[in-house]
């Protein structure tokens, strides 16, 4: 990574930094002395993040950047702001973290919700990357995409989210080879369930599903929807601390040689998830059916 005049303060844009994992990554890189362009949706969210940095004793260099990854004008404005401040040194890193999780049986999830899922978790990541690449190329920078184990194993009733994360795997693999010529590394972080506000949002999504489903849909999937709520509660209870992911992101941004993939899981998961990918389909399906019963 080139840091000619930024040895002390390399720069990174982290999208989805208002709360949860994105905020944690922003605070961690700020702690390490990076200039963090924190992609947030509102001025208030940016202020709260900067206040959090100061509260834990960081000599904060967080710069809140208003960005909606589904809006090309918003992305262009953010890129322009960053370009004006990084100047000829370019941007050292991009962490594509913005994301949402849409769940439910694929038969009854509204198409608009599925389209929004892909717009945020995939198209938005591509759009932000395209906008930042000229600056990343100057700095021979790094890109970190926030994937998920849901991009390795597709779970029933989490189809929209899994679809977006499987696609992000393909995006990362293609991009990594395409950008190698310019010395730009591309890493993919693949966490299991992590403690964050995503679980509260997931429960809200279940309530939305109940409200939007037709009477026929509710009758067909009422037991499943109730089970989904229970699974979310259990996932929240057993989720790993967010520090497991921030550690992976930190390594991807600062190590002499970043890994292409970071599977963030308990040791058993690091064995099982790759195994899921190579076992016969019907065996995997049988296991997944038993898990959700």
Whether residue 6 is contained in a domain is answered as: no
pLDDT of amino acid 199: 66
pLDDT of amino acid 51: 87
pLDDT of amino acid 250: 97
Phi (first) and psi of residue 13, to 5 degrees: -100, 125
What is the residue-averaged pLDDT of the chain?
Answer: 89
Whether residue 144 is contained in a domain is answered as: yes
The mean pLDDT value for 218-241 works out to 77
Whether residue 2 is contained in a domain is answered as: no
Whether residue 3 is contained in a domain is answered as: no
Token pair listed for 17 = 């930094």
- Tell whether the model's pLDDT for residue 268 goes beyond 60: yes
Q: How far apart are CA 45 and CA 283, in angstroms?
A: 45
Which residues belong to the active site?
161
- Tell whether the model's pLDDT for residue 212 goes beyond 90: no
Torsion of CA 190, 192, 193, 198, to 10 degrees: 20
Read off the pLDDT of residues 36-65 as tens digits, 9 standing for 90 and up: 999 999 999 998 998 888 888 767 789 999
- Tell whether the model's pLDDT for residue 127 goes beyond 90: yes
The mean pLDDT value for 125-129 works out to 98
pLDDT of amino acid 214: 86
Q: How confident is the model at residue 69 (pLDDT cuts 50, 70, 90)?
A: very high
Read off the pLDDT of residues 136-146 as tens digits, 9 standing for 90 and up: 999 999 999 99
Whether residue 122 is contained in a domain is answered as: yes
pLDDT of amino acid 227: 77
The mean pLDDT value for 3-8 works out to 46
Q: How far apart are CA 168 and CA 46, in angstroms?
A: 27
What is the CATH number for 196?
Answer: 3.40.50.720
- Look at the alpha carbons of 51, 55, 60, 62 in this order and tell me if their dihedral is positive or negative: negative
Domain count, the chain: 1
pLDDT, greater one: 148 or 290: 148
Whether residue 276 is contained in a domain is answered as: yes
pLDDT of amino acid 198: 67
- Tell whether the model's pLDDT for residue 3 goes beyond 50: no
Whether residue 70 is contained in a domain is answered as: yes
- Tell whether the model's pLDDT for residue 1 goes beyond 60: no
Q: Say what the pTM is.
A: 0.90
Whether residue 265 is contained in a domain is answered as: yes
pLDDT of amino acid 161: 92
- Tell whether the model's pLDDT for residue 151 goes beyond 50: yes
Segments forming the whole domain that contains residue 109? 11-292
Q: Is 213 exposed, middle or buried (0-12, 13-18, 19+ CB in 10 A)?
A: buried
Q: What residues pair up with 143 in beta bridges, in sequence order?
A: 94, 186
pLDDT, greater one: 268 or 246: 246
């Amino acid at each position: 990574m080139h840091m000619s005049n930024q040895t002390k303060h390399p720069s990174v844009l982290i999208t989805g930094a208002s709360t949860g994992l994105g905020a944690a990554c922003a605070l961690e890189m700020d702690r390490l002395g990076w200039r963090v362009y924190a992609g947030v949706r509102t001025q208030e969210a940016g202020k709260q993040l900067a206040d959090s940095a100061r509260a834990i004793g960081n000599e904060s260099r967080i710069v809140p950047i208003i960005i909606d990854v589904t809006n090309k004008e918003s992305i262009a404005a953010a890129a322009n702001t960053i370009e004006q401040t990084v100047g000829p040194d370019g941007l050292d890193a991009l962490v594509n973290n913005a994301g949402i999780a849409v769940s439910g049986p694929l038969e009854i999830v509204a198409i608009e919700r599925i389209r929004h899922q892909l717009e945020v978790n995939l198209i938005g990541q591509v759009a932000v990357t395209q906008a930042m690449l000229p600056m990343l190329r100057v700095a021979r920078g790094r890109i970190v995409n926030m994937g998920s184990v849901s991009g390795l194993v597709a779970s029933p009733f989490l189809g929209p989210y899994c679809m977006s994360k499987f696609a992000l795997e393909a995006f990362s693999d293609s991009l990594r080879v395409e950008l190698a010529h310019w010395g730009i590394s591309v890493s993919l972080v693949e966490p299991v369930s992590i403690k964050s506000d995503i679980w509260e949002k997931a429960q809200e999504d279940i309530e939305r599903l109940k409200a939007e489903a037709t009477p026929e849909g509710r009758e067909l999937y009422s037991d499943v929807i109730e089970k989904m709520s229970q699974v979310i509660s259990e996932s929240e209870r057993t989720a790993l601390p967010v520090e497991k992911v921030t550690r992976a992101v930190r390594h991807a941004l600062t190590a002499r040689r970043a890994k292409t993939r970071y599977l963030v899981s308990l040791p058993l998961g690091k064995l099982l998830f790759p195994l899921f990918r190579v076992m016969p389909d019907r065996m995997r399906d049988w296991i997944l059916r038993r898990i959700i019963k």
